[in-house]
Structure 1
Amino acid sequence: MAGNEKSKSRMEQAKGKAKEATGRAVGNERMEAEGRAEQAKGDARQAKEKGKDTFRH
């Protein structure tokens, strides 16, 4: 389960980064902001999983 969550967080981060770059390229501020939000969500999920790993070992 933890591996699945970690891969989800990486995918969210990558998707957010791509969305932010696309928004910046076309001048769409909303898309850029959504990309940053997705990256933050991925970062939070990754931090949660690292915390879980710390207590497991």
Structure 2
Amino acid sequence: MAREQKAKARMEQVKGKLKEVMGRAVGNERMTAEGKAEQAKGDARQAKEKGKDVFRHR
């Protein structure tokens, strides 16, 4: 389960980065902001999973 969640977090980060880059390329500020938000969501999810790993390995 943890691997699936980590993969989902990573995909969210990548998707957000792509959306941010595309938004900048076409000059769409909304798309850029949405991309940054998706990246932040992925970062938070990944941090949560890493935190769970710390407790799991003790």
Q: TM-score scaled to structure 1, two decimals? A: 0.99
Residue in 2 that maps onto 1:8: 8
Unaligned runs of 5+ in 1: none
Amino acid at match of 1:42: G
Q: Cα distance, 1:26 vs. partner?
A: 0.2
| 2:33 counterpart letter in structure 1 | A
Count of residue pairs the alignment pairs up: 57
Percent identical pairs in the alignment equals 79
Deviation of 1:22 (Å): 0.2
The 4+ residue runs of structure 1 with deviation greater than 2 A are: none
Q: Does 1:36 align with 2:39?
A: no
Give the aligned partner of residue 20 of structure 1. Answer: 20
Residue 20 of structure 1 aligns to a residue whose secondary structure is: helix
Please, what is the CA RMSD of the aligned residues?
0.2
The two structures have a TM-score, normalised by structure 2, of: 0.98
Q: Offset at 1:12?
A: 0.2
Where does the alignment leave 5 or more consecutive residues of structure 2 unmatched?
A: none
